[in-house]
Structure 1
Amino acid sequence: MIRGFAPAESTRSEAVLSRLQLLVTRKLDGLLQGDYAGLLPGPGTEAGESREYTPGDDVRRMDWPVTARTTVAHVRRTVADRELETWIALDLSASLDFGTARWLKRDLAVAAVAAVGHLTVRGGNRLGAVVGTGGSTERIPARPGRKEAQGLLRRVAALPSAPGRSSLGELVDLLNKPPRRRGVAVIISDFMSDPSTWVRPVKKLAVRHDVLAIEIVDPRELELPDVGVLAVVDPESGAVHEVQTSDPKLRRRYAEGAAAQRAAIASALRGAGAAHLRLRTDSDWLLDMVRFVAAQRHARTRGTTR
Structure 2
Amino acid sequence: MTAADDTVREDPTHASSRAALARLELLVTRRLDGVLGGDHRGLLPGPGTEPGEARPYEPGDDVRTMDWSVTARTTVPHIRQTIADRELETWIVVDLAPSMDVVGRYGSKRRLVEAAVATVGFLSATDGSRVGMVVTGRGRPRVLRATGGRAHVRRLLEEVSEAPAEVGPGGTLDDALVAVRRTARRHGLVVVVSDFLSALTWERSLRVLAVRHDFLAVHVADPLDIALPAVGAALLQDPDTGEVLEVDVDDALAADYRREAGAHRDAVHTALRRCGAPVLGLRTDRDWVRDVIDFVGVRRQGGFPTGDDLSRDLPDGDDDEVGR
Give the structure-2-normalised TM-score: 0.81
State the SS of the aligned residue for 2:301: helix
- For 2:239 and 2:172, the matched residues in 1 are separated by 15
* Equivalent residue runs for 1:18-29 within 5 Å: 18-29=22-33
- For 2:253 and 2:63, the matched residues in 1 are separated by 44
The 8 Å contact of residues 92 and 134 in structure 1, kept in 2 or not, is answered as: no
- For 1:213 and 1:58, the matched residues in 2 are separated by 24
- For 2:143 and 2:252, the matched residues in 1 are separated by 45
- For 2:134 and 2:167, the matched residues in 1 are separated by 18
Q: Does 1:236 align with 2:240?
A: yes
Equivalent residue for 1:275, pick from 275, 278, 285: 278
* Equivalent residue runs for 1:153-302 within 5 Å: 153-162=157-166, 164=168, 166-195=171-200, 197-245=201-249, 247-299=250-302
State the SS of the aligned residue for 2:186: coil
Matching residue's letter, 1:190: D
The 8 Å contact of residues 94 and 133 in structure 1, kept in 2 or not, is answered as: no
The change in CA–CA distance for 1:72 and 1:268 in structure 2 (over 3 A counts) is farther
The 8 Å contact of residues 48 and 76 in structure 1, kept in 2 or not, is answered as: yes
Match of 1:3 in 2: none
The change in CA–CA distance for 1:16 and 1:55 in structure 2 (over 3 A counts) is closer
- Residue identity over aligned pairs, in percent, reads 46
The change in CA–CA distance for 1:76 and 1:179 in structure 2 (over 3 A counts) is farther
Question: Cα distance, 1:17 vs. partner?
Answer: 1.0
RMSD over aligned Cα, in angstroms?
2.7
Question: Cα distance, 1:50 vs. partner?
Answer: 4.5
Equivalent residue for 2:43, pick from 34, 39, 42: 39
Residues 20-53 of structure 1: CA distance to partner in whole angstroms, max 9, x if unpaired?
A: 2112222213433434322212412212234577
Residues 243-279 of structure 1: CA distance to partner in whole angstroms, max 9, x if unpaired?
A: 211x111111111111222122111111111111111
Long gaps (5+) in structure 1: 1-5
State the SS of the aligned residue for 1:266: helix
- For 2:213 and 2:182, the matched residues in 1 are separated by 13
- For 2:71 and 2:207, the matched residues in 1 are separated by 27
- For 2:284 and 2:139, the matched residues in 1 are separated by 25
Match of 2:318 in 1: none
Matching residue's letter, 2:212: R
Larger Rg: 2
Question: Cα distance, 1:218 vs. partner?
Answer: 0.6
The change in CA–CA distance for 1:31 and 1:70 in structure 2 (over 3 A counts) is closer
Matching residue's letter, 2:125: V
Equivalent residue for 1:57, pick from 54, 59, 62: 62
The 8 Å contact of residues 122 and 145 in structure 1, kept in 2 or not, is answered as: yes
Q: Does 1:93 align with 2:97?
A: yes
Residues 198-232 of structure 1: CA distance to partner in whole angstroms, max 9, x if unpaired?
A: 11212222222110000111101111123221111
- For 1:63 and 1:270, the matched residues in 2 are separated by 26
Match of 1:127 in 2: 131
- For 2:103 and 2:63, the matched residues in 1 are separated by 38
Matching residue's letter, 1:262: R
How many positions carry a matched residue from both structures?
Answer: 294
